[in-house]
Amino acid sequence: MIARLRRLVRRSHLAAVGAGLNPPTRSRRRRALEVGLASTIATFILLPIQASAAGGFAYDTYFTSAYERQIDSRTCVAASTAMMMNILNGRDLNLNQMTILRYAQTHDALNDATQRGSDPLGWAAAATRFSRYTIRPTTYRWEAYATEAAALQRAAVQITRYGKAVGLLVQHGGHAVVMNGFTSTKNPLNGTFKVTGVWVSDPYGARNTYYSAAGSPLDTYRQLDATTAYDQAWYGKYIIIVPRN
Q: Where are the domains of the chain?
A: 2-46, 56-243
Mean pLDDT of 9-26: 35
Mean pLDDT of 79-86: 98
- Is residue 89 within 8 Å of 131, Cβ to Cβ? no
Q: How far apart are the C-alpha atoms of 169 and 173, rounded to whole Å?
A: 5
Task: Name 195's bridge partners.
Answer: 184
Name every residue whose Cβ is closer than 8 Å to that of residue 210 and which is 6 or more positions away in sequence: 197, 198, 199, 200
pLDDT, tens digit (0-9, with 9 covering 90-100), for 135-161: 999 999 999 999 999 999 999 999 999
- Is residue 33 within 8 Å of 40, Cβ to Cβ? no
Average model confidence (pLDDT) across the chain: 84
Query: Amino acid identity of 192?
Result: T
Q: Which pLDDT belongs to residue 33?
A: 32
Q: How far apart are the C-alpha atoms of 7 and 33, rounded to whole Å?
A: 11
pLDDT level of residue 245 (50, 70, 90 thresholds): very high
Task: For residue 53, give the DSSP letter.
Answer: E
pLDDT, tens digit (0-9, with 9 covering 90-100), for 163-185: 999 999 999 999 999 999 999 99
Q: Which pLDDT belongs to residue 113?
A: 77
Q: Which pLDDT belongs to residue 54?
A: 53
Assigned CATH class of 56-243 = alpha beta
Name every residue whose Cβ is closer than 8 Å to that of residue 69 and which is 6 or more positions away in sequence: 79, 203, 204
Higher pLDDT, 51 or 109: 109
Residue 188 has pLDDT above 80, yes or no: yes
Higher pLDDT, 52 or 206: 206
CA nearest neighbour of 215 among 155, 148, 151, 127: 148
Task: Name 179's bridge partners.
Answer: 166, 200
pLDDT level of residue 52 (50, 70, 90 thresholds): low
Angle between helices 76-89 and 120-130 (to 10 degrees): 30
